[in-house]
């Protein structure tokens, strides 16, 4: 496994803030909490060359997003409702010398042929539509990142679009969430499939409504909890009204677990990813 040689950079106020809410048991005792991550922005990649384009740029193997989904099926007594879900991927874009530039969390939305149509009687429409992938990235360098990606695009058939106004990134953490399931899906969010006859509230709890967004285990460390992207005009499933907390608490949760994120904390052009 590759490891970053990191030189971390944190805000000057972190010491006093950390001391103020250092007691991790407040989250363990309160159960899981969730934060909308305004420090992250969402970018959409769409087109027949999406996988090829990203495969040539990023440190992880993006090709699995272009492979057949497999034989994952619902655990409900509705065996005709597939719930195939591709786990998100953490990857980085490096300089030609192998130094860190930007990090990406890549997500693949459910494909039309992995869910039923509105009648519940057949696969969704147009299974051959162009592949879409989404990435949550560091919002503080979004314009710079988009410019870099478009510079590398050349003749690749892939559209790169800023959808930060449409989709927000969220993190669900605390409360020993990682101990509940070995699955990549949030255990409660994996319990309901697609199709007619499904309780609307249950479907919402499963996939964040008809768009198919859901929670997944953070691909970096189990202790970080679950991550996902959701429509900006809705509250994600499983987020209780009194359990939404400021992003600063997630920031401190990460630091407690020794995990840096984004080009602010992982200085661009300085951190190395050894081969």
Q: What is the distance in angstroms between the CA of the first residue and the CA of the last residue of the chain? A: 9
Calpha distance 263→229 (Å, rounded): 20
pLDDT of residue 114: 57
CATH class of 35-67+77-174+205-257: alpha beta
What is the phi/psi pair of residue 160, to 5°?
Answer: -120, 120
CA 224 to chain centre: 12
Distances (CA, A) of 62 to 67, 74, 140: 10, 25, 24
130 three-class SS: coil
The helix or strand, by DSSP H or E, that contains position 255, with its residue range, turns out to be helix 247-256
What's the mean pLDDT in 30-37?
85
Query: Pick from 152, 108, 147: which is nearest to 130 by CA?
Result: 108
Token code pair at residue 27: 């989250």
Does this model's pTM top 0.85?
A: no
Q: Convert the pLDDT of each residue in 106-122 to its tens digit.
A: 999 876 555 555 555 55
Query: Pick from 66, 64, 46: which is nearest to 134 by CA?
Result: 46
Q: How confident is the model at residue 15 (pLDDT cuts 50, 70, 90)?
A: very low
Q: Convert the pLDDT of each residue in 168-209 to its tens digit.
A: 999 999 866 655 443 455 544 443 334 434 444 444 344 444
Domain boundaries, the chain: 35-67+77-174+205-257
């Amino acid at each position: 496994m590759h490891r970053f040689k990191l030189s971390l950079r944190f805000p000057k106020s972190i010491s006093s803030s950390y001391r103020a809410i250092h007691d991790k048991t407040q989250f363990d005792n309160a159960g899981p909490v969730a934060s909308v991550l305004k420090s992250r922005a969402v970018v959409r990649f769409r087109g027949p060359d999406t996988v090829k384009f990203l495969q040539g740029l990023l440190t992880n193997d993006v090709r699995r997003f272009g492979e057949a989904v497999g034989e994952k099926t619902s655990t409900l007594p509705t065996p005709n409702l597939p719930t195939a879900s591709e786990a998100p991927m953490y990857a980085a874009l490096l300089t030609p010398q192998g130094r860190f530039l930007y990090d990406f969390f890549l997500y693949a939305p459910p494909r039309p042929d992995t869910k039923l149509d509105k009648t519940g009687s057949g696969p969704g429409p147009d299974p051959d539509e162009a592949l879409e992938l989404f990435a949550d990235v560091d919002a503080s360098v979004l314009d710079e990142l988009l410019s870099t990606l478009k510079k590398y695009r050349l003749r690749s058939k892939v559209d790169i679009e800023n959808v930060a106004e449409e989709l927000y990134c969220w993190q669900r953490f605390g409360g020993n969430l990682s101990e509940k399931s070995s699955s990549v899906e949030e255990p409660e969010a994996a319990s309901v499939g697609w199709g007619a006859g499904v309780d609307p509230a249950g479907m919402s709890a499963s996939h964040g409504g008809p768009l198919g967004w859901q929670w997944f285990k953070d691909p970096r460390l189990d202790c970080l909890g679950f991550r996902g992207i959701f429509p900006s005009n809705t509250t994600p499933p499983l987020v209780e009204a009194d359990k939404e907390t400021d992003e600063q608490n997630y920031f401190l949760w990460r630091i407690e677990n020794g995990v840096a994120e984004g080009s602010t904390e992982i200085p661009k052009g300085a951190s190395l990813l050894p081969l």
